[in-house]
Amino acid sequence: MKIRGTWAFAVAGIAMLLGVLASACSQECPECNCPVCPAQVDTPPPPVVNNGPCTEEWVHMPVLINFPTGGAELDAQNRAILAEVVRTAQTRQDIRRVRAEGHTDTCGAEVNNMALSQQRAENVALALVEMGVPREMIETVGYGSTQPRANEACESRSARQSTELSRQTNRRVEFSILVCREGTAGN
């Protein structure tokens, strides 16, 4: 039953996010050709936090922020995606915390990948704070290349070229949110 509830939450989140992204801008952004123009995104109000009794549960969000090789800076398109996520989250009173989870591809030294993944998560957290999310609600963690979403190879130049899409998929920040399931405390 817990899995079914989480799955329903994820499906509803995807549908809501796609609807918000599709309706946010009637035309492509002239600056970056992204579907949501950062110049047209207003700063959302601070989140409403409900501190009543509940059962807290971490839920994975179906949103990815991708990065170039070796990069940790957010581009205009990623900032627009974050702004829409924040705006959508503002309507939810059950969100207690947000965790930005940084990842890298498998190429390079793992010590460097760990630092880079943490920097990616920190940069996303900073952008969320700039958009009105209180810093104390945000956690960051860098996983390096320990949790790839796609298989990739880094042994040779040709292997890297053939798996570039997989590597791009792995260079990301994902989100989990801590939600408060009202009326479920002590059950």
Number of domains in the chain: 1
Q: What is the pLDDT of residues 94-120, one digit of tens each?
A: 899 999 999 999 888 999 999 999 999
d(CA 45, CA 31): 25
Give the residue among 116, 119, 21 at the shortest CA–CA distance from 78: 21
pLDDT of the residue at 23: 38
pTM: 0.67
Domain of 154, CATH number, reads 3.30.1330.60
Lowest mean pLDDT among 83-87, 115-119, 127-131, 135-139: 83-87
Nearest-10 crossing angle of helices 76-89, 2-23: 120
Range of the domain at 74: 2-182
- As a whole-number percent, the residues of the chain with pLDDT over 70 amount to 64
Asked, for residue 187, whether it belongs to a domain, the answer is no
- Residue 172 is classified by DSSP as E
Distances (CA, A) of 2 to 9, 14, 121, 136: 11, 18, 28, 27
Angle at 175 between CA 109 and CA 65, to 5 degrees: 65
Mean pLDDT of the chain: 75
Residue 89 exposure: Cα atoms within 13 Å on the Cβ side: 28
Q: What is the pLDDT of residues 28-86, one digit of tens each?
A: 454 444 444 444 445 444 444 555 578 899 999 888 999 999 999 999 999 999 998 89
Asked, for residue 173, whether it belongs to a domain, the answer is yes
